[in-house]
A and B are shown apart, each in its own frame.
Chain A
Amino acid sequence: MTPLLEMRGIGKSFPGVRALSDVSLELFAGEVLVLVGENGAGKSTLMRILAGATSADEGEILIDGAPARIAGPQEAQRLGIGMIYQEFTLVPQLDVPSNVSLGVEPTRAGLIDVAAVRARAHRVVDDLGLELPFDVPVSQLSVGQQQLVEIAKALATSARILVMDEPTAALADREIERLFEIIRRLRASGVGIIYISHRMEELPRIADRIAVLRDGKVVATRDARGFSSDEIIAAMVGRRLTAHFPELPPPASDAAVRLDVRGLRREEILAGVSFSVRAGEIVGLAGLIGAGRTEIVRAIAGADAIDGGEVLIDAKLVRSGRIGEAIARGIVLIPEDRKAQGLVLGMTVRENVTLAHLANFVDRDQLVDVARERAATARMIDELQIRTPGTEQLARNLSGGTQQKVVLAKWLLGDARVLLFDEPTRGIDVGAKTEIYKLMVELAGRGAAIVMVSSDLPEVLGMSHRILVVRGGRIAAEFSRADATPDRVIAVATGAAA
């Protein structure tokens, strides 16, 4: 039987990262192929290639045995590939029929044929056996209903290949049940489905075959029957080469609690998070994307308002939701997205480094003393070995690892007592990673309390004294450095174990 879709030797690189290498997959009509893998394993890149959102550097794609070139989203649609992204692509202000036909509206005499738009939506929605309100903006539908609209939209363009990226992530149990029913019905009608998931527990219920992606390669493709969760996790984690981790001396046995977090709550996001970090200790927050790890550190830093809970530094309460006060008390957030949150790209290294502590660089007339700024920045460049031609280089022109060091320098100018690292080494080359790790160890050695959010499992395991696994906005498990293994952490994070 000719596969519906065949990918042969797909490779894709980004600057500094090999996202996919030699990936080969087959998808047959009437099957559900589940794609699993850790964050960053390459699932999204693979999907974007299928969607025509990006193009592969090497390899070929065959549809019905014929080579196909997917140059753009319209091409993908024409080839019968339907995409359902994690983030919805609906226009919230438009109703269901308008969304289903978005971009392919039937027209009459150059005007949108409203009756035909409705008929089209009816056809798909009825085929799926759904009931959806047609006359209200989709923003008024539940998340589950919106998900169904996404599916209807994908199928309206007569998709034969449906790619779903974690479709159950935002759904309630009842809605998941319904979604699975629809998937089974689609499968019976001959649609081939690629289903990307993190959730071990749902695999046996939906998967025909399972492909495991790790570090941009397919490491296993097997029938779902007889492929146990343990085996799947083992394949996901594997043994691999990693950046070199520096030695991590344990914190002093009499070290006092530096950061104390009590019962942080945020509606639907954080469900009572409590933990403490001692001076000199590095605590890793592991978990899946969307589990609430970033929200925890942002809440501690005062970057987001919270609904309840408190944060104490050296046993003294920090008023919540006030970034200025958090900074004054020595709480520092090194955010996930350097470019969007950490740096002003159009400013120089000097201006970025002094931004948070500019008050220390004014003279008696309240004018900024650029010479002192330069001196301090030059000192940080030296200390952190920031690779820049000088203090006046624009942040925009630096590499990812160097930019991260500039963010770090900004905070180390002050008295940073609690450092919250959110994905500190994402998109950074191996050499720079090791340097950042060394800095973290050094900072801990000077008595800082460090919280590190990371999706890179070896990094969490290699760089933390303790590991907290976050799932569903709460801390689901705690492991000591000695007890933490990749399998155990992944099992808790994915809900395969409690």
Chain B
Amino acid sequence: MSDRTRLVYWLRIAGAAALFILLVAVVDVASRGSFLEPSNIVRVLRQITYNCILGVGQTFVIITGGIDLSVGSLVALTGVVAALFANSMHLSGFPLIAATLVVAVAVGCIAGWINALPVVKLNLPPFITTLAMLEMAVGAAFILSHGRPVALQSADFQNTGIGSFLGGVTQALHVPSLPVPVIWMLAVIVVASVLLTRTRFGRYVFAIGGNEEAARLAGINVVRVKTTVYVISGACAAIVGFLYMALFSSGSPQTGTGDQLLESIAAVVVGGTSLMGGRGSVIGTFFGALLIGVLYNAMNLLNVDSYLQKVLLGAVILLAVVLDELRKRYLSR
């Protein structure tokens, strides 16, 4: 990096951090200290977990210049399939949990592969192929569940869904503990971040998003890399489907089919990933999800009308991307 780019880079980080701290401070004062209570912070983290995991998978797709609209309904489908599978197995404890997770992730991966196939083979726009998958997956979830939530017969998933990580230890030490789903989110973030920033695959994801033809002429297997990003997105959707199933003790065909898709994409974009491809990060997506989560939480604490909350959220998303665009223009001058 040249000195100027390095300076701008750190200024940007510092600026974002300063804004964030300011927001937190204002909200904390306005809510008379309840915002920064450990239990509230844990609540925010738990609330953003699902959007964040979906966003992480989506980040890979968007960096290649694609989009995955199917993740919301894949949450529903994988949750239903996982619940049906768990109910049909004569297993319990860890083997049951592990097998169910594997099945859910397998379904997500297959769906992602189907998403990618027409994109890489026929050059169809991912907007359309994943839109088709959105419809098919939610339809399949309703067919399999007969339109009703599939209640889990086993109680073994309770800890995965709502338990605390190392609950006994943290209680003994009188420190707040993190919910298990939050641990899942952190694990997904770490693995995805290493994959994206430290491996050949990650480098190729950026190269394809930056210039697909140059990547192809460099001998990169573009078909394989692009297929993999949709599979990763499907797998992330499956993890979310699995976690929701554990949380609600049932797999419902309606879970994840509402605002989830668009809010996860918002997290990615607010986190600085370019919809044009070639630029972005997993950490950015985490902070994007965090910003949206903090905003919701703060508005709740401050008793902002729930309809108005939507308006403000939209305004913040717009503001974030406009600021990012202005920064880019300044840089390219």
Chain A residues in the interface with B (C-beta under 8 A): 301, 303, 323-324, 326-328, 333, 335, 340-348, 351, 355-356, 358-359, 362, 366-368, 389-390, 392-394, 396-397, 410
| Contact present for B5 and A323 (CB under 8 Å) | no
Contacts of B279 in A (CB 8 A): 346
CB < 8 Å: which of A301, A341, A348, A358 contacts B214? A341
Residues of B within 8 A of A323 (CB): 216-217, 219
Q: Are A355 and B198 in contact (CB under 8 A)?
A: no
Distance between B328 CB and nearest chain A CB, rounded to angstroms: 11
Which chain A positions have C-beta within 8 A of B216?
303, 323
Which residue in A327, A341, A351 is a CB contact (below 8 Å) of B213?
A341
Closest to B274 in A: A346
Contact A333 B211 (CB under 8 A): no
Whether A358 contacts B203 by the Cβ 8 Å rule is yes
Contact of B214 with A367 in the complex, beta carbons under 8 Å? no
B31 → chain A, closest Cβ, in Å?
A: 41
Residues A343 and B211 in contact, CB atoms below 8 Å apart: yes
**B221 at the binding interface (Cβ < 8 Å):** yes
**Which of B's residues lie within 8 Å of A, judged by CB?**
1-2, 5, 194, 198-200, 202-204, 206-207, 210-211, 213-221, 278-279, 332
Given contact pairs A340-B211, A368-B199, A355 touches B220 in the complex (Cβ within 8 A): yes
Inter-chain CA distance A367–B210, complex, in Å, is 21
Nearest residue, chain B, Cβ from A369: B198
Interchain residue pairs with CB less than 8 A apart (5): A340-B214, A341-B211, A355-B215, A358-B204, A390-B1
Task: Tell which of B2, B215, B278 touches A390, judged by Cβ atoms closer than 8 Å.
Answer: B2
Q: Which residues of chain B have C-beta atoms less than 8 A from A345's C-beta?
A: 210-211
A324 & B210 in contact (Cβ 8 Å cutoff): no
A344:B278 contact, CB within 8 angstroms: yes
**Closest CB-CB distance, B279 to chain A, in whole Å?**
6
Measured in the bound complex, the distance between the Cα atoms of B217 and A323 in whole Å is 7
Contact A344 B211 (CB under 8 A): yes
Q: Is the CB of A301 within 8 A of B217?
A: yes
Given known A-B contacts A340-B213, A346-B210, A347-B210, A355 and B1 have beta carbons under 8 A apart: no
By the criterion CB–CB under 8 Å, are A327 and B219 in contact? yes
* CB <8 Å contact, A344 and B214: yes
Sort A-B residue pairs by CB-CB distance and give the 7 closest, nearest first: A344-B210, A356-B218, A327-B219, A392-B1, A367-B198, A344-B211, A346-B210
Determine the chain B residues whose CB is within 8 A of the CB of A362 once the complex forms: 199-200
Q: Which of A344, A356, A394, A396 meets B206, CB within 8 Å?
A: A344
- The smallest C-beta distance from A325 to any residue of chain B, in angstroms, reads 9
Instruction: Assess whether A342 is in contact with B1, with CB atoms less than 8 Å apart.
Output: no
Interface centre among B194, B199, B216, B217 (most CB of A within 10 A): B217
Smallest Cβ-Cβ distance to B221: which chain A residue: A324
A368 to B206, CA, bound (A): 14
Residue in B closest to A388 when the chains form the complex, CB atoms: B2
The CA-CA distance from A393 to B214 in the complex, in Å, is 18
Partner of A344, one of B194, B202, B215: B215
CA distance A118 to B143 in the complex (A): 53
Rounded to whole angstroms, the CA-CA distance of A362 and B221 in the bound complex is 17
Known contacts: A347-B210, A368-B199, A390-B1. The answer to whether A335 contacts B219 by CB under 8 A is no
Assembly CA distance A410 to B217 (angstroms): 11
With a cutoff of 8 Å between Cβ atoms, the chain B residues found around residue A347 in the complex are 206-207, 210
- Bound complex: CA A394 to CA B211 (Å): 14
Q: Give chain B nearest CB distance to A198 CB in angstroms.
A: 28
A394 to chain B, nearest CB (A): 7
Contacting residues, chain A, for B213 (C-beta < 8 A)? 340-341
CB A69 to nearest CB in B, in angstroms, measures 29
What residue in chain B is nearest A339 (Cβ atoms)?
A: B211
B233 to chain A, nearest CB (A): 22
- Cα A358 to Cα B332 in complex, Å, equals 28
Docked Cα-Cα span, A451 to B52, in Å, equals 51
Q: How far is the CA of A346 from the CA of B279 in the complex (A)?
A: 8
- Assembled-state Cα–Cα distance A342/B213 (Å): 8
CA distance A333 to B5 in the complex (A): 31
**Interchain CB contact (< 8 A) of B219 among A324, A348, A397:** A324
Known: A303-B216, A342-B214, A368-B200. 4 other contacts (CB 8 A): A347-B206, A356-B219, A396-B332, A410-B218
Q: Which residue of A lies closest to B3 (CB)?
A: A389
A303's nearest neighbour on chain B, judged by CB, is B217
**Which residues of the other chain, B, contact A394 by a CB distance below 8 angstroms?**
5
- What's the least CB distance linking A417 to chain B, in Å? 15
A381 to chain B, nearest CB (A): 14
Task: Tell me, in angstroms, the Cα distance from A323 to B215 when the chains sit together.
Answer: 11
In the bound complex, what is the Cα–Cα distance between A327 and B211 (angstroms)? Answer: 19
Residues of B within 8 A of A344 (CB): 206-207, 210-211, 214-215, 278
Q: With the chains together, A469 CA to B215 CA distance in Å?
A: 31
A482 to chain B, nearest CB (A): 35
**Chain B residues near A346 (CB-CB < 8 A):** 206, 210-211, 278-279
From A342, A368, A393, B2 is in contact (CB under 8 Å) with: A393
* B1 cross-chain contacts in A, Cβ below 8 A: 348, 390, 392-393
**Residues A343 and B214 in contact, CB atoms below 8 Å apart:** yes
> A410 to B215, alpha carbons, bound, how many Å?
12
Contact B2 A392, beta carbon cutoff 8 Å: yes
- Roughly how many angstroms separate A396 CA and B219 CA in the complex, as a whole number? 21
Interface-central residue, A342, A346, A362, A389, by most chain B CB under 10 Å? A346
Chain B residue numbers with a CB within 8 Å of A356 are 218-220
Whole-angstrom distance between the Cβ of B134 and the nearest chain A Cβ: 28
Interfacial chain A residues near B221, Cβ < 8 Å: 324
